[in-house]
Structure 1
Amino acid sequence: MSDWIETLDGRRTGEDRVTFDHPDPARQALDASVVTPLAHLGVLDVYGADAERFLQGQTSAQLSLADGHYAPLTCFCTPKGRMLANAQLLRIAEGHYRLLLHRGLVAPLAKHLDKFAAFYKAELEPRHDLALIGLIGVEARALAEVHFDVVPPSLWHQAGNEQLQVVTHPGPRPRILACLPEERAVEIVRQLTAQATLVGNAAWCLHDIQSGLYWLTPHHQDALLPQMINWEALGGISFKKGCYTGQEVVARAHFRGQVKKRLYRAQLEGDRLPEPGAAVRDANDKAQGEVLAAELDAYGQAEILAVLSTKEEIGPLSVDGQALKLLKLPYPVERLDPEALAEQL
């Protein structure tokens, strides 16, 4: 665990999970404003004279849109179109870009990209010296403005400077993510706890589930097409840019309608959290998909994101003996061009 989290008396209950003494983080986030260390996320910086040109050939984002205001979602794929990581892309300064992604994929992605960076004036640096803090609740924007000294931007946009960046994420409650040096994190979190409850990052992960937003983990690396997590419906794929690794397969799947599995949001009738990869089974015990993420909601029931067959009639479903009820996604499953998102203020 990072020293700054230990200083706040956080406890690790898994490689990417932190808890505090305040129980029931989901209920806390529902009833009030909360602050949480985002220990499951990490940072990878890409910088150099050729950083933009290098990334343009590797990522699904149109790099010219990442202008220091719009911070697009993106993904990195194999030549077969399977995702190695998905991320949010920030422009920190000229020739300096920052990727926010699952912490377990920072090192593997850096190793993968380094093979291509050798042909460019570009360098990769995992940033273990940076902290990520999340704010959730009706007061999240106001708290961010006071304590981070920046007006929070619109969805998938960034604000701040080279030392501190703030981005806005979707959710049933307002959500603000801040990236800043670790040495400042403890002081700012302690200031925030005067008005927001300090909770574990399960609260943030639950809001991701309720937003229909999945961050790839090592468990599903090199296994899913971007469309299988509805990435094009979130503006995570530019179909107007030139070639990038995996682009041909991703584009073909889109234009020919060949995506046979999609991301669904669901609730289980029980409080047992399934493991990532747990099978979603039909009435005949046949696997129709698998669980990607799971968290307990404010009422003690398991909510999940799962990749399921797009067949219209697959009947009753269950996970580990718990009946599954499909829930509505908060967005239409259709193409959303990042070029349109970039124009929003």
Structure 2
Amino acid sequence: MATVTASNFALGSVRLHHLAALDVKGADAEKFLQGQTSAQVSLADGHFAPLTCFCTPKGRMLANAQLMRLGDDHFRLILSNTLLESLANHLKKFAAFYRAELTPLPDLTFVGACGEDQSLAEQLGLQLPEHVGTHRNDEHTCALRYPGESPRWLLCFDHAELSAGATIEDDESSRNAWQLEDIRSGLAWLTDAQQDHFLPQMLNWEALGGISFKKGCYTGQEVVARAHFRGQVKKRLMRICVATAALPEVGASVVNSDQKSVGEVVTSAFTPQGDVELLAVMSTKVAEEPTPIFLLDAPATLQSLPYAIERVDPEQLAISMNA
């Protein structure tokens, strides 16, 4: 990674290469997705874009995503580019029974823009959405409001060419700053390294409104619901800071003073001070019974998340977004 200093941590507009899109189109697109995803698909109304996930029959996450409706029979999933092909292949097994077509879009251009740099959207004539989890789109471009300490948006282009004169960073330091905002927002995107590994609740997905407990059946629903209603989730996504000069690998162990693993790294980024912040799936005992923890032989400390670990129904989120 490029040298990270406080001076290059201001988020402007940055190309994001870790994301990709999967389009689902057809007369049965909504019905097909309803049977596969944790979201109440009807909540994706062209304004509200619910978080969602896809699971195995055992309730383990194959991918998490954000779901947008771009037309009456046109949905788009935004997810990690490392999971695009595998999720498409998985869903195609079920799409064969519906009037639904899946189209992976690995070459879309994604740009992250912060609140202090809206010039790109202005050049494109695109009105930016105000509320986190909502989007606006036209024929070629979509803008999705992301969480963060400062307003930020994910811009998605149907073509690689951008307006003349647009200034967009394309360096690791700028992408690191975007990733740090995701971490501080408590938002982790699953990658292929930990696919089929976590229950959705282990990534705090129900606390982010990514699981509807009011909808009907979908693949893995029984296991996910049982874990919720019986209180069986003993691992949770937690935010950690550690004084180290290297980013840990995905899956690296967080250990206690006895060198026993108490968690594993999901995503990480440098801070302006040169430390590392990360999200890790940790044993809930770490928060309940505070104990020293370590990563890469360095002491680590738990940090707060901007949300409570409690169920947030996406149905209520949709009402508040459309109020």
Same fold (TM over 0.5): yes
| 2:4 equivalent to 1:24 | yes
Structure 2 contact 49–67 (Cα < 8 Å) conserved = yes
Task: Please give the per-residue CA displacement for 1:260-319, whole angstroms capped at 9, x wherever unaligned.
Answer: 000000100222211001011000010011111111111110111001101122510001
1:184 Cα deviation after fit: 2.7
Residue among 113, 136, 148 paired with 1:159? 136
Report the residue type matching 1:24 in the other structure: V
Which whole-Å CA distance do the structure 1 matches of 2:87 and 2:122 have between them? 35
Distance 1:114 1:128, change over 3 A: same
Report the residue type matching 2:147 in the other structure: P
* Residue identity (%): 51
Distance 1:70 1:85, change over 3 A: same
Task: Please give the per-residue CA displacement for 1:110-136, whole angstroms capped at 9, x wherever unaligned.
Answer: 000000000001111111342111112
Residue among 159, 163, 166 paired with 1:191? 166
Report the residue type matching 1:191 in the other structure: A
Structure 1 contact 293–304 (Cα < 8 Å) conserved = yes
| 2:238 equivalent to 1:261 | no
1:173 Cα deviation after fit: 2.1
SS at match of 1:104: coil
Question: Residue 5 of structure 1 corresponds to which residue in structure 2?
Answer: none
Which whole-Å CA distance do the structure 2 matches of 1:275 and 1:316 have between them? 21
Distance 1:172 1:46, change over 3 A: same
Structure 1 contact 281–317 (Cα < 8 Å) conserved = yes
Task: Please give the per-residue CA displacement for 1:31-65, whole angstroms capped at 9, x wherever unaligned.
Answer: xx411111000111111111000000000010110
Which whole-Å CA distance do the structure 2 matches of 1:109 and 1:172 have between them? 31
TM-score by length of 1: 0.87
SS at match of 1:295: strand
Question: Residue 45 of structure 1 corresponds to which residue in structure 2?
Answer: 23
Report the residue type matching 1:163 in the other structure: H
Which whole-Å CA distance do the structure 1 matches of 2:245 and 2:83 have between them? 29
SS at match of 2:206: helix
Structure 1 contact 44–124 (Cα < 8 Å) conserved = yes
SS at match of 2:188: coil
Report the residue type matching 1:152 in the other structure: L
Report the residue type matching 2:316 in the other structure: A
1:96 Cα deviation after fit: 0.7
Which whole-Å CA distance do the structure 2 matches of 1:54 and 1:120 have between them? 6
SS at match of 2:246: coil
| 2:315 equivalent to 1:339 | yes
| 2:40 equivalent to 1:62 | yes
Question: Residue 317 of structure 1 corresponds to which residue in structure 2?
Answer: 293
Summarize the alignment of residues 265-284 of structure 1 with structure 2, pairs less than 5 Å apart: 265-284=239-258
Residue among 124, 147, 158 paired with 1:181? 158
Distance 1:157 1:25, change over 3 A: farther
Report the residue type matching 1:85 in the other structure: A
TM-score by length of 2: 0.93
Structure 2 contact 22–102 (Cα < 8 Å) conserved = yes
Structure 2 contact 120–166 (Cα < 8 Å) conserved = no
Distance 1:302 1:240, change over 3 A: same
1:181 Cα deviation after fit: 2.2
Report the residue type matching 1:235 in the other structure: G
| 2:66 equivalent to 1:88 | yes
Question: Residue 227 of structure 1 corresponds to which residue in structure 2?
Answer: 201
| 2:271 equivalent to 1:297 | yes
Structure 2 contact 200–224 (Cα < 8 Å) conserved = yes
1:94 Cα deviation after fit: 1.2
1:243 Cα deviation after fit: 0.5
Which whole-Å CA distance do the structure 2 matches of 1:67 and 1:104 have between them? 27
Which whole-Å CA distance do the structure 1 matches of 2:89 and 2:195 have between them? 14
1:182 Cα deviation after fit: 2.7
Which whole-Å CA distance do the structure 1 matches of 2:307 and 2:125 have between them? 31
| 2:83 equivalent to 1:105 | yes
Structure 2's unaligned 5+ residue stretches are none
User: Where do 4+ consecutive residues of structure 1 move more than 6 Å?
Assistant: none
Which whole-Å CA distance do the structure 1 matches of 2:154 and 2:51 have between them? 14
Which whole-Å CA distance do the structure 1 matches of 2:238 and 2:48 have between them? 27
Structure 1's unaligned 5+ residue stretches are 1-12, 14-18
